[in-house]
Amino acid sequence: MAGKADEVTTGQKPEGTGRKPEGRGLPLDTSVPHIARVYDYWLGGKDNFAADRAVAEQVVATFPDVLVIARAQRAFLGRAVHYLATDAGIRQFLDVGTGLPAANNTHEVAQRAAPTARVVYVDNDPIVLTHARALLASRPEGATAYIDADARDTDTILAEAGKLLDFSQPVAVMLLGVLHCIPDEDGPAAIVARLLDAVPPGSYMAIVHPASDVATDKMEQAMGDYNKQAGSALTARSHAEVSRFFDGLDLVEPGVVQIHRWRPGTDGVGQGRELAAYGGLGRKP
């Protein structure tokens, strides 16, 4: 079903429309694990159910590094958004596959550096939708919006996001930990291409994606266990496959690398280890 921008906050209306968001994406079935809630559990969050916790623990048992990867992914988000808001001067963000609110959400990192930043969040998980208000707590100078939609529904995403973002100005498209939720047959590269077609030169795209060619055996087993139980299957991809999503973009140094090696900061998450997740940032020429 088509999604819809549920609430838009601006400096004038920090609490949004006051309307209680209603689910228009996936139905809520707490008996089936969903990646938003499983990832929340790995990050130490409370917004998960018994089925999410069971599969999350099973994955940790075969692949303990998943706990480091989840934290390294949030750290990557922080560094990439800070880079975009400072060095790259980006003031508009389209964050697809937002996840449950955690420390340092995209608008918090962006608006800390650039208070006027505008951020549109997109997710298809009904529990993420119920937490949308936390994602909408914009600084008064900036603005945020939440769209309850599937990443595959790019027409809806772009139409709704266009109510807050000015697509004649550069936008950072954030696809962190979401493209692996799109199987090859659903055309993840075409989704990327449609989103990038909509934004002007000088825009950026950031990706984090689980690796199929690092810790291969454990990753295969862990993903197989997850996929047997979850409603929708995950796909890990190789360095070459993840790099292809950036075709036509100029990669920001150091290119597509394991997430903790991308412009490492002082957080030190994962230092000295091989982590099965790639991250990168590209600029549309």
Ligand X SMILES: C[S@@+](CC[C@H](N)C(=O)[O-])C[C@H]1O[C@@H](n2cnc3c(N)ncnc32)[C@H](O)[C@@H]1O
Using the rule CB under 6 A, give the single segment among 91-99, 209-217, 236-244, 263-271 that binds ligand X.
Answer: 91-99
Is residue 42 a contact residue for ligand X (CB under 6 A)?
Answer: no
The residues pairing with 173 across neighbouring beta strands, listed in sequence order, are: 94, 205
Q: Does 160 bind ligand X (CB under 6 A)?
A: no
Q: Hey, is 3 helix, strand or coil? A: coil
Nearer to ligand X, 128 or 196 (CB): 128
Q: Which of 176, 198, 199, 219 binds ligand X (CB under 6 A)?
A: 176
Residue 99 interacts with ligand X (CB under 6 A)?
yes
Q: Which of 5, 36, 195, 205 binds ligand X (CB under 6 A)?
A: 36
DSSP 3-state of 138: coil
Query: For residues 37 and 55, what is the distance between their CA atoms, to the nearest angstrom?
Result: 11
Which range in 83-91, 144-152, 211-219, 242-250 contacts ligand X by CB under 6 A? 144-152
Least distance from ligand X to the Cβ atom of residue 22, Å: 17
Q: Which range of residues in 86-94, 150-158, 222-230, 249-257 is near ligand X by CB under 6 A?
A: 150-158
Residue 280 backbone phi and psi in degrees, to 5: -165, 165
Q: Choose the binding region for ligand X from 54-62, 73-81, 111-119, 137-145 (rule: CB under 6 A).
A: 73-81
239 neighbors 219 (Cβ within 8 angstroms) = no
Q: How far is the CB of 73 from ligand X (least distance, A)?
A: 5
Contacts 24+ apart (CB under 8 A), 113-116: 113/82, 113/85, 113/86, 114/85, 114/86, 114/90, 114/142, 115/139, 115/141, 115/142, 116/91, 116/141, 116/142
Distance from chain centroid for Cα 86: 20
Lookup result for tokens 């036509």: 248
Pick one of 78, 177, 188, 270: the residue that binds ligand X (CB under 6 A). Answer: 177
191 interacts with ligand X by CB under 6 A: no
**CA 71/CA 270 separation, integer angstroms:** 9
Q: How many residues bind ligand X (CB under 6 A)?
A: 21
Which C-beta is closer to ligand X: that of 10 or that of 159? Answer: 159
Instruction: Using alpha carbons, list the distances in angstroms from residue 184 to 209, 217, 234.
Output: 14, 21, 10
Residue 95, SS3 per DSSP: strand
125 makes contact with ligand X (CB under 6 A): yes
- Decide: is 170 part of the binding site for ligand X (CB under 6 A): no
Q: Which is nearer to ligand X, 145 or 181 (CB)?
A: 181
Identified binder of ligand X from the candidate list 7, 47, 52, 123, rule CB under 6 A: 123
Q: Does residue 128 belong to the site contacting ligand X (CB under 6 A)? A: yes
d(CA 93, CA 110): 9
3-state secondary structure of 172: strand
**16, 21, 97, 280: residue in contact with ligand X (rule CB under 6 A):** 97
Positions in the binding site for ligand X (CB under 6 A): 35-36, 39, 73-74, 77, 97-99, 123-125, 128, 150-152, 176-178, 181, 208
